[in-house]
Structure 1
Amino acid sequence: MAQFRLPGADRTYPDPHGGGGGAAGRSRRIRRSGKAPLRVMAGAIAVILALVLLVAFSSHLLLSRHGEIRSRLHDENVGRKQGSSVGLKGAIPRVLRFGKGSGKVGWDSRQWDKDDRRRDRDYAEEDQKFPGDGGRKSENETVGSRPSHSADHGLYNEGGRAELDSYRDEYEVSLKKGGKLWEDDVVGKGNAHDDYGYGYGFGGEGKSGGDAVTDELKKDSSVISGKGGGGGGDSKTEKKLASRRKPRHHKFSGSSCKIKFFNSTAQLVEPLESKKFSRFSLQYKEVEDRPNDLENWEPRFAGHQSPQEREESYYARDQKINCGFVRGPKGSPSTGFDMAEDDVRYMSRCHIAVSSCIFGKSDSLRTPYNKVVTRLSRKNVCFIMFMDEITLQTLLSEGQKMDGSGFIGLWKIVVVKNLPSTDMRRVGKIPKFLTHRLFPSARYSIWLDSKLRLQSDPLLILEYFLWRKGYEYAISNHYDRHCVWEEVMQNKKLNKFNHTLIDQQFEFYQADGLKRFDPSDPNKLLPSYVPEGSFIVRAHTPMSNLFSCLWFNEVDHFTSRGQLSFAYTYLKLRRMNPTKPFYLNMFKDCARRSVVKLFRHRAEDKGNIPKQLMR
């Protein structure tokens, strides 16, 4: 029968029978104690071997995973570039004549786009909390909502197709440097020398989406020459490459920059007009006579400007130019944009103006955030909201209350009658570009599109964007596109305007010297050819006023898409006045997001086809 040794049985006890059991016990104990170290050593060796095997296996997994990631990134980069080239060839067989039977629309649209917001769904920031909001929900925010970014909507961020490719390239470089993630290096810290980008520099390693697409168009001779419109390539290969692609997300669509505003407006002192600003006398044509040889002549709000007058208006010199608010001869009907005399007198006394407009009841009224507007600004700044009668009636029916002085909150409501156009977007360009005409005594102005809400003090805005470095005009670049070629492509693709008129405008600009945007050019005059345009800060200097008039005349003469004419207007003004600088501050768009908050348009614009398109 097997016997089991009880614990402690190996201990030495005296043998009751004197049989030397004690010595035997000691002998057995000595033998067992000699085997114990051997078992400990064997166990230690086994543990060490297991750890070595575990480390080796983990290293193998990491190395294989790293190789797989790099291979996948390489395949995706190749696939995207090939796919982009194929897509551009198939969708946009022409560049110099955008549209005209090309593009996904497939036809030359002669129908006015009543509301491009149905296709061009702008990113919105209403779901993002402003630090001073105290956690309360925004006006359009609903429970469970999420930020709506341009990349989520596909088409609007199509121009940024190659942007993430550059980020992945930077990620590859960071791995070679020691495995530091590009998000920490580029996005987290930003580029200290980047004045106009989102962590990537114009002319540096990273490229904006617009620049990358422009390079693709340059490389593709068949696209540039207008030859060939086939898709090209094997369909199976295209499907395989498309399956590998992952959804693109615009990295910076909701980002904002830290702005070092002064802590208080109490110490602000309005500067004297800088002597470096160009000085000349700029006057405006107010009345024009009827030509004797034209029977069907009608007065226009912008007047009738001949090609020679248009060309000469670009000279920064003493002159009288067309700049809106032109009336016909005595007895002629009003050319539009009529306001009450009391409102006109009120605006003529404003020294600093913050203005916006809502026409066609396309937006809700967004009052500036009260807690950030100081008492000094409330006393010295005019807040003017232009709107038509139908918009005012809509706001009042929704519960907005206007006091006896015509104010809703901080906004002084100015009702505009007899609108010069049935296109609400074109009418909106009047208070946007011609602020110096509406506020003749104002020295400074801040413009906000109706989709924005002001969330910074106006005086601090003026100090930061103008006074601190001596600028006279400030506007942000576009958050995604930086070349007019790409902006034209997007306007045609989204059917934002009559294709034929866009073609005519763009061809005219090219014939007059407009070139592609080159981010690597060290002598470039602008950091971007495409402005965001919804937020403008300006000093009412002669050069700033002249630029505003010229830009308005371009919008009146061609399409109402101001982003198509901005770069041409600025470059031509600089080219024709080489000795008279224009101090323009084109800042990065994330700075705009720090001072204003973006909301979605609440309704579709019901504007009709403009009269000038119904010829």
Structure 2
Amino acid sequence: MEGDIQRSVSLRPNRRGGDRGEQSFNSKGDVEGLFPSGRLSYDYPAKTAWRMGFVRLVLVAGIIWMLLVVSASLFHVWSCQTSVAFFSAICNRESKVNKILDTMGIVSAPHRCPIPLASDPDQVVIPKGRTPDEIVKNLTYVLEDNSVESTSPLFGGHETWSEREKSFELNSTMEVHCGFIKNSGAEMDPADVRFVKNCQFVVASGIFDGYDVPHQPSNISPRSKELFCFLMVVDEVSLDFIKSNVTVRKDAAGGLWVGVWRLILLRHSPYDEPRRNGKVPKILTHRLFPQAQYSIWIDGKMELVVDPLLMLERYLWRGNHTFAIAQHKHHKNIYEEADANKRRKRYARPLIDLHMKIYKYEGMEPWSFKKENPSDVPEGAIIVREHTALNNLFSCLWFNEVDLFTPRDQLSFGYVVYRLKGSFKFFMFPNCEYNSIFVLHPHTREHSSKIEWVKSLKELEGKGSAMRESRGGLGLWTPYPGDLDAVVLPPVARTSKAG
């Protein structure tokens, strides 16, 4: 009896058999508790295998996708670095990938790259008429200096802080300071004034204080030679230097020529600093040559090697742009550029800091990928533009910053763009294309001025005030209507060996 009871107990299903490592079997030999039916016992291995296969498929697909992304990125990097013309031409240097890699220092931008120019200047179609002025329709300039602060008018006028602030408020009708205050210098000869009235397409350059001689452009088509006026703006010192070093011919109307360049003399230089004088024709091209519809500025130390008509087609007409300038090779952030200017002694260090403190106080943030433009710092040695009212206004406001603060125009460009709040549109083209536009020639001598070596404001006090510029940068010596003592400049890091 007891044996029967023990056998009946031992044959009962063990509800906790799984916990004790015990198993019970039914009549079909299946494990009870784990599989309630015989059908599931056969399906379980198939489902497990299917799940494992799916996971492996996902992993393999992910790895293949990552390899494709890496391969595409490597090809993108290689195409942007190669000297093979075909692959270099298809590189998208404006892509976000290239910008991020460039910022990280993974990609080093090539010094020169092919420019996607049209093949034949004779086939270029010049747009009819002018680009409509939709924001600023009527722009006029302040011509009289009514300030009693000085008996001698300043070239940029005595612009007040309130006038400067108002100039950034866009309206359909505007009047702004834009240099060329009456009796302030930079006067053209009457023969030159008559000549430039016939110039609708202009290639302009400038030489000041005898640092260069004109370099003849090459690869210029007959059509461009007929279409463009090549105007080299010089001061009296440079004119004498050019006459003593190269052949200058005089035409029947009294015009002076060096090759294709017509020399345009500006008498009575408006500034003490030659570099600041050079900003007059560079930025205020539309004031010197008011009849011009299109202009290309190129610094005097450069030899133009690209047909100017092809440049207009590439940088303006093809993309429906009206203003084009190259991206700086090393810096995107004006505070980095300012730091580089201090290290390379391009202007008085404390005055550069003061300039940047004003911009920081007025809300200018360091460049980041959140900004619309690829950089806040241009290579200003080449500027391609149509002289629309808005572009002319931008040029005036840019020049006013150069007049008020330091002559380092690369520090002011991005600030004016910021103040116009996206209304000023421009094309910032790759730096490697910029380097393919010209051949660089060295200056005939090294430029230097006393103020560039100043390390502290104390050096400019008392008798040291003789080192200050007397006609430019006066905004740095005029009491600013804001507390700059609390302003801390953003930290910067050296992003290139070139500084």
TM over 0.5: yes
Q: Is the CA contact 1:373–1:456 (under 8 Å) kept in the aligned structure 2?
A: yes
Compute the displacement of 1:254 (Å): 3.0
Compute the displacement of 1:395 (Å): 2.0
Aligned to 1:457: 307
Q: Is the CA contact 1:208–1:482 (under 8 Å) kept in the aligned structure 2?
A: no
Matched, 1:468 2:318: yes
Compute the displacement of 1:324 (Å): 0.4
Pick closer, same or farther for the CA change 1:473–1:177 going to 2, 3 Å.
closer
Take 2:126 and 2:379, find their aligned partners in 1: how far apart are those partners?
A: 29
Aligned to 1:161: none
Aligned to 2:495: none
Q: Which of 114, 119, 135 matches 1:278?
A: 135
Query: What do the CA deviations read for 1:204-230 (whole angstroms, capped 9, x no partner)?
Result: 344255xx9xxxxxxxxxxxxxxxxxx
Aligned to 2:282: 432
Compute the displacement of 1:583 (Å): 2.6
Could you tell me which amino acid in structure 2 is paired with residue 352 of structure 1? Answer: F
Query: What do the CA deviations read for 1:519-563 (whole angstroms, capped 9, x no partner)?
Result: 3x2xx2210111011000010001100100000000110100011
Compute the displacement of 1:468 (Å): 1.2
Pick closer, same or farther for the CA change 1:492–1:360 going to 2, 3 Å.
same
Could you tell me which amino acid in structure 1 is paired with residue 438 of structure 2? Answer: V
Matched, 1:269 2:121: no
Q: Which of 446, 449, 453 matches 2:296?
A: 446
Matched, 1:368 2:265: no
Compute the displacement of 1:275 (Å): 4.1
Could you tell me which amino acid in structure 2 is paired with residue 194 of structure 1? Answer: N
Q: Which of 182, 187, 211 matches 2:81?
A: 187
Matched, 1:207 2:85: no
Aligned to 1:320: 175
Pick closer, same or farther for the CA change 1:200–1:359 going to 2, 3 Å.
farther
Q: Is the CA contact 1:256–1:594 (under 8 Å) kept in the aligned structure 2?
A: yes
Matched, 1:532 2:382: no
Secondary structure of the structure 2 residue equivalent to 1:536: strand
Q: Is the CA contact 1:196–1:477 (under 8 Å) kept in the aligned structure 2?
A: no
Take 1:257 and 1:366, find their aligned partners in 2: how far apart are those partners?
A: 22
Q: Which of 447, 464, 468 matches 1:605?
A: 447
Secondary structure of the structure 2 residue equivalent to 1:425: helix
| Equivalent residues in 2 for 1:139-218, closer than 5 Å | 184=78, 186-188=80-82, 189=87, 194-196=92-94, 201-202=98-99, 204-207=100-103
Aligned to 1:563: 410
**Worse-matched range after superposition: 273-282 or 587-596:** 273-282
Matched, 1:352 2:201: yes
Could you tell me which amino acid in structure 2 is paired with residue 304 of structure 1? Answer: H
Query: What do the CA deviations read for 1:344-399 (whole angstroms, capped 9, x no partner)?
Result: 12112211111111001111211111xx2222222221111011222222222223
Q: Is the CA contact 1:360–1:605 (under 8 Å) kept in the aligned structure 2?
A: no
Compute the displacement of 1:430 (Å): 0.3
Take 1:515 and 1:278, find their aligned partners in 2: how far apart are those partners?
A: 26
Compute the displacement of 1:181 (Å): 9.1
Aligned to 1:223: none
Q: Is the CA contact 1:470–1:583 (under 8 Å) kept in the aligned structure 2?
A: no
Pick closer, same or farther for the CA change 1:440–1:177 going to 2, 3 Å.
closer
Secondary structure of the structure 2 residue equivalent to 1:552: helix
Compute the displacement of 1:280 (Å): 1.4
Pick closer, same or farther for the CA change 1:340–1:485 going to 2, 3 Å.
same
Query: What do the CA deviations read for 1:482-519 (whole angstroms, capped 9, x no partner)?
Result: 11121111111122111221111111111111111113
Take 1:182 and 1:591, find their aligned partners in 2: how far apart are those partners?
A: 18
Matched, 1:513 2:363: yes
Q: Which of 407, 411, 420 matches 2:261?
A: 411
Could you tell me which amino acid in structure 2 is paired with residue 263 of structure 1? Answer: D
Secondary structure of the structure 1 residue equivalent to 2:277: helix
Q: Is the CA contact 1:360–1:606 (under 8 Å) kept in the aligned structure 2?
A: no
Aligned to 1:299: 153
Q: Which of 479, 489, 492 matches 2:329?
A: 479
Take 1:476 and 1:491, find their aligned partners in 2: how far apart are those partners?
A: 19
Secondary structure of the structure 2 residue equivalent to 1:396: helix
Take 2:311 and 2:409, find their aligned partners in 1: how far apart are those partners?
A: 23
Q: Greater RCO between the two (CA within 8 Å, min separation 6)?
A: 1
Compute the displacement of 1:432 (Å): 0.4
Pick closer, same or farther for the CA change 1:267–1:483 going to 2, 3 Å.
closer
Could you tell me which amino acid in structure 1 is paired with residue 118 of structure 2? Answer: F
**Worse-matched range after superposition: 302-311 or 424-433:** 302-311
Matched, 1:572 2:422: no
Query: What do the CA deviations read for 1:436-488 (whole angstroms, capped 9, x no partner)?
Result: 00111111111001121111221111111111111111000101111112111
Aligned to 2:224: 377
Matched, 1:546 2:393: yes
Secondary structure of the structure 2 residue equivalent to 1:201: helix
Unaligned 5+ segments in structure 2 are 1-66, 451-466, 478-499
Q: Is the CA contact 2:214–2:261 (under 8 Å) kept in the aligned structure 1?
A: no
Compute the displacement of 1:277 (Å): 4.8
Secondary structure of the structure 2 residue equivalent to 1:416: strand
Compute the displacement of 1:183 (Å): 6.8
Could you tell me which amino acid in structure 2 is paired with residue 346 of structure 1? Answer: F
Pick closer, same or farther for the CA change 1:607–1:402 going to 2, 3 Å.
farther
Take 2:331 and 2:147, find their aligned partners in 1: how far apart are those partners?
A: 43
Q: Is the CA contact 1:253–1:479 (under 8 Å) kept in the aligned structure 2?
A: no
Q: Which of 397, 405, 426 matches 1:584?
A: 426
Could you tell me which amino acid in structure 1 is paired with residue 439 of structure 2? Answer: K
Take 2:317 and 2:279, find their aligned partners in 1: how far apart are those partners?
A: 26
Compute the displacement of 1:289 (Å): 2.4
| Equivalent residues in 2 for 1:49-198, closer than 5 Å | 184=78, 186-188=80-82, 189=87, 194-196=92-94
Compute the displacement of 1:306 (Å): 1.0
Q: Is the CA contact 2:338–2:352 (under 8 Å) kept in the aligned structure 1?
A: yes
Aligned to 1:395: 242
Q: Is the CA contact 1:445–1:537 (under 8 Å) kept in the aligned structure 2?
A: yes
Could you tell me which amino acid in structure 1 is paired with residue 328 of structure 2? Answer: H
Q: Which of 310, 313, 320 matches 2:164?
A: 310
Could you tell me which amino acid in structure 2 is paired with residue 504 of structure 1? Answer: L
Q: Is the CA contact 1:299–1:335 (under 8 Å) kept in the aligned structure 2?
A: yes
Could you tell me which amino acid in structure 1 is paired with residue 431 of structure 2? Answer: D
Query: What do the CA deviations read for 1:292-344 (whole angstroms, capped 9, x no partner)?
Result: xx4x44311111111111111112220111100012xxxxxx31112211111
Compute the displacement of 1:599 (Å): 2.1
The alignment yields a C-alpha RMSD, in angstroms, of: 2.9
Q: Is the CA contact 2:131–2:388 (under 8 Å) kept in the aligned structure 1?
A: no
Query: What do the CA deviations read for 1:384-443 (whole angstroms, capped 9, x no partner)?
Result: 101122222222222323233311111001122210112100000000000000111111
Take 1:470 and 1:177, find their aligned partners in 2: how far apart are those partners?
A: 34
Alignment identity in percent?
31
Pick closer, same or farther for the CA change 1:542–1:563 going to 2, 3 Å.
same
Take 1:341 and 1:275, find their aligned partners in 2: how far apart are those partners?
A: 31
Q: Is the CA contact 2:286–2:387 (under 8 Å) kept in the aligned structure 1?
A: yes
Aligned to 1:166: none
| Equivalent residues in 2 for 1:8-87, closer than 5 Å | none
